[in-house]
Amino acid sequence: MFKRIPVTIITGFLGAGKTTLLRHLLQTSNQKLAVMVNEFGSVGLDGDLIRSCGFCPEEEVEGRLVELNNGCLCCTVQEDFLPTMEKLLQKIDRLDGIVIETSGLALPKPLLKAIEWPEIRSKVFVNGVVTLVDSQALVHGSPVADLEAINKQRKDDEKIDHLTAIEDLFLDQLCSADIVLLSRSDLLTSSAIETVKEKISKDIRPGTSVISISNGQVEPSLILGIRPEIAPTVSSDQDHDHDHDHDHDHDHDHVRVYSFSIRLELDVDQAECEKFFKNLSANLQILRLKGRIWFSNKNLPLQIQMVGPRLSTWFEAAPNSAWRPNDIGGLELVVLSLKEDSEEKIRQLIIQRFS
């Protein structure tokens, strides 16, 4: 059966916590993932950290972990990224997804554009761009904790073809983000975290979720997507152990995620439906949404994947065991939200819009 797999891009400056997050996701997601790591200036280091986390059997590591140390990935799309993606996609039937950890100097937009390359886009979809922000550094006025290391990385990368200022790079990372993760939040007070959120609020798109984390700990489904196919996940408190002497308020480290599923038999319009869901994320703090929409005049259902403001749709055959509406169209959705009362609100909004 036709299969498209998700590609998740993790970006952020050197030292923001990308590799720590990636290790956590690989160890806890129970997914078969391929990983592309590009951290020029730290040759072999990040790859060793990923390789040693035991995310797959040792005999599979060479085929599922690719280290690109030939320069900033957004500047080597043709020579590095596209050939590597083509090679990984030869194993698409054995993968649940691909995760790309970019260099701290990378611009996410060229990678997003490259994924639209014809030979790639028919096999993958952009599952989300996750931007790591060092909240401790930002609250002190800079998005980078170690500016000297960033400048050395820039100097060492002879193939870099953009000399974007740090602030402009940071803006690009924020504008491209579907989810923003504030790392090292356990080192700040709640008021300081709010200050950081206010600083970046004007630069992110409406509907982009901002979540405080520490030690790379976050519910994997928020980053990698809802699995298995069309099945609700368990609502969870993201809990962390803290071993610090300072007396800070850590309430912001606990993220309450509400998960629910909705099935409705309605004759819906595709264009109106896509417009509706794009507006939904901004208004109801929808972290992720996944499902199928059946149209009365189409043989195949529309697959829908949404993270923050990013919406991906395509027509794809459903498994024989999948739910189907009777005579008219219908939809089946699984939703992850930060708002407890989202389920009934979404259900009523859909009914009002399409009845």
User: What are the sequence ranges of the domains in the chain?
Assistant: 5-240, 256-354
Tokens of 160: 């870099």
Q: What are phi and psi of 219, to 5 degrees?
A: -60, 120
Q: Determine the residue type at 122.
A: S
- Residue 169 CA to residue 209 CA, distance in Å, equals 20
pLDDT for the residue 117: 85
Class of domain 5-240 (CATH, top level): alpha beta
CB neighbour list of residue 165: distance below 8 Å, 6 or more residues apart: none
Cα distances from 180 to residues 37, 130, 200, in angstroms, run: 19, 6, 10
Helices 108-115 and 166-176, interaxial angle, to 10°?
Answer: 40
pLDDT for the residue 350: 92
- Specify the residue for token string 């309605």: 266
- Residue 146 CA to residue 16 CA, distance in Å, equals 10
**Contact, 152 vs 201, CB < 8 A?**
no
Q: Determine the residue type at 254.
A: H
Cα distances from 41 to residues 212, 306, 345, in angstroms, run: 28, 34, 48
Predicted confidence pLDDT, tens digits, the chain (355 residues):
567 899 999 999 888 898 899 989 988 888 889 888 876 654 444 556 665 565 655 666 666 777 777 666 665 666 678 888 888 888 888 889 999 998 777 788 888 888 888 888 889 999 999 999 999 999 988 888 877 777 676 666 666 665 677 888 899 999 999 999 999 999 999 999 999 999 999 999 988 999 999 989 998 989 998 865 444 444 444 444 433 333 333 344 457 788 899 999 998 888 888 888 888 877 787 889 999 999 988 889 999 999 988 999 999 999 888 999 987 899 999 999 888 888 999 999 999 988 7
Selection from 153, 158, 212, 206 nearest residue 181 by Cα = 212
DSSP 89: G
Count CA atoms within 13 Å of residue 134 on its CB side: 21
DSSP 60: G
**Contact, 89 vs 64, CB < 8 A?**
no
Q: What is the reported pTM?
A: 0.84
**Residue 133: beta bridge partners?**
182
Q: What angle do CA 114, 119, 124 make, to 5 degrees?
A: 70
Residue 4, class by beta-carbon neighbours within 10 Å (0-12 exposed, 13-18 middle, 19+ buried)? middle
Cα distances from 43 to residues 129, 153, 157, 168, in angstroms, run: 23, 11, 11, 25
Q: What are phi and psi of 127, to 5 degrees?
A: -75, -25
**Residue 289: beta bridge partners?**
306, 335
Q: What are phi and psi of 58, to 5 degrees?
A: -55, -35
pLDDT for the residue 242: 38
Three-state DSSP class for 114?
Answer: helix
Q: What angle do CA 155, 159, 165 make, to 5 degrees?
A: 55
pLDDT for the residue 248: 38
**Contact, 101 vs 22, CB < 8 A?**
yes
pLDDT for the residue 99: 94
Q: What is the CA radius of gyration of the chain?
A: 20
Selection from 284, 286, 318 nearest residue 300 by Cα = 318
**Contact, 115 vs 310, CB < 8 A?**
no
CATH H superfamily, domain 256-354: CobW-like, C-terminal domain (3.30.1220.10)
- Specify the residue for token string 């009845």: 355
